[in-house]
Structure 1
Amino acid sequence: MTASTFLEKNTLSVAVTQTTYPFNTFHPSINSKLKRGIDIIGALAGLIITGMIAIPIMVIMFISDPGPLLYSQVRCGLHGRRFRIWKFRSMVVGADKMKHLVKNEAEGHIFKNTNDPRITCLGAFLRKTSLDEFPQFWNVLMGDMSLVGTRPPTVDEVEKYNPHHWQRLNVKPGITGEWQVNGRSSVKNFEDIVKMDINYQNKWSLWYDLHLIVKTVLVVFNKTGAY
């Protein structure tokens, strides 16, 4: 690991210790070997599916909106540790630089726009079906994420956190979670997301994780709350 990589991953952790919140707290799910086992099995299965759908997505993307197949962004995980998340690209190339041109329709430390003009036609389909999320199974396999957890925030979001917001980062971020099965993109108030993330931590069990995974599949098939 290079010095720059080390600093990137630990800058937030240093900032965390300067607040009054007990950020060294580890949720029981972090030490669960069964949860990690389920994550590994699920990630391997998910990556097989990811490989299968990557080819047709790449072909359609080459025809409709040439550019990289994958999109990556630095996000914050357990206790604010930074990692690089992966998705199938759903926006035009250079979309991050155009963010300031798009109106934020959400409240609090999140960014959402129902009709974001940066989203491509293919990208709209990928988001509606949640296919854009499949490369995140690699993040799960690497241990930066879990199948079920909290919504992984961006660095600029976390930099604006109030002390109570950090509690949502006492577990690993997940591909799915309370926010995914209770509104998905239609949830536009950050405090509501925080409440759902804390609710997940309070209710957590392996059975509850499995319940949320099954419920996520149903929500995705019904295309509920996604855009």
Structure 2
Amino acid sequence: MQSALPMTLMDSPVIAPADLESPHRSASSVFKRAVDILGSLVGLIVLAILFVPVAIAIKFDSPGPIFYSQERYGLMGRPFRIYKFRSMVDNAEQLKAQIKNEAKGLIFKNESDPRITRTGKFLRRTSLDEFPQFWNVLRGEMSLVGTRPPTGDEVARYELHHWQRLRVKPGITGEWQVNGRSMIKDFEDIVRLDLQYQNQWHPLYDLILIARTVQVILTKAGAY
């Protein structure tokens, strides 16, 4: 089944294929949205408590802003601006071309990325860098659970089956985070997990993945 593309996407330099399926049923779930609103409010309260010490650590570690923002692509390819605590040096994008990509496909990963600051390593390992994204969740641009939000240069190279992962809202966590996280270095494996989420999703499934995410953060090394 086909659906009309939103005007935000039509105006974007990245154009989705005309035969992209309609949004996944999770995108219109009232229960999922209620969980997102409640969870984002709790997350923003925690963010308010942590903001001062985290901000001080970031500023003392390296010059630059406290927050990092970037345009990403969400549900059905709609562009939005994502927010994180800055975990890299301020000119990280300019230095990216000098860093070896250890991943395969349309993602970029380097386990020893020199652009990551000392504070940034801690923020990533504990997932504290993701907390500003609770604002994106509250706004409805993201969900607590979903797919990894891609960048414009990634989406510009998508094949048709890659677009299917954007039938759900991007999430702070998801199948990729609880089933390998930074150890997953093949983009096709991420796509497979995203489609697995769509196939297995039911109203309570997000709660299961949220609980598993907390377990992963507390018991494993986390992201890099």
- Over the aligned positions, Cα root-mean-square deviation in angstroms equals 1.7
The percent identity for this pair of structures is 58
| Structure 2 match to 1:226 | 223
Report the Cα offset of residue 12 of structure 1: 4.7
Q: 1:106–1:14: structure 2 CA closer, same or farther, 3 Å change rule?
A: closer
| Structure 1 match to 2:43 | 46
- Structure 1: gaps spanning 5 or more residues: 1-5
Q: Does 1:37 align with 2:34?
A: yes
- Structure 2: gaps spanning 5 or more residues: 1-5
Q: Does 1:118 align with 2:106?
A: no
CA distance in 2, matches of 1:223, 1:119: 19
Q: Pick one of 86, 89, 94 that aligns with 2:91.
A: 94
Q: Does 1:198 align with 2:195?
A: yes
Partner SS for 2:15: helix
Amino acid at match of 1:169: L
CA distance in 2, matches of 1:61, 1:175: 21
Report the Cα offset of residue 173 of structure 1: 0.4
Q: Contact 2:127–2:222 (CA<8 Å) still a contact in 1?
A: no
Q: TM-score, normalised by structure 1?
A: 0.92
| Structure 2 match to 1:73 | 70
Amino acid at match of 1:165: H
| Structure 1 match to 2:3 | none
Q: Pick one of 169, 190, 201 that aligns with 2:166.
A: 169
Q: Contact 1:186–1:225 (CA<8 Å) still a contact in 2?
A: no
CA distance in 1, matches of 2:144, 2:47: 15
CA distance in 1, matches of 2:100, 2:11: 29
| Structure 1 match to 2:213 | 216
CA distance in 2, matches of 1:156, 1:11: 16
Partner SS for 1:26: coil
Amino acid at match of 1:15: I
Q: Pick one of 123, 127, 138 that aligns with 2:135.
A: 138
Report the Cα offset of residue 9 of structure 1: 4.8
How many corresponding residue pairs? 219
CA shift digits 1:85-139 (9 cap, x unpaired):
0000000011111110111110000000000000000000000010000000000
User: Could you list the runs of 4 or more consecutive aligned residues of structure 1 that deviate by over 6 angstroms after TM superposition?
Assistant: none
Report the Cα offset of residue 26 of structure 1: 1.6
Amino acid at match of 1:187: I
CA distance in 1, matches of 2:65, 2:207: 33
CA distance in 1, matches of 2:82, 2:113: 21
Q: 1:48–1:9: structure 2 CA closer, same or farther, 3 Å change rule?
A: farther
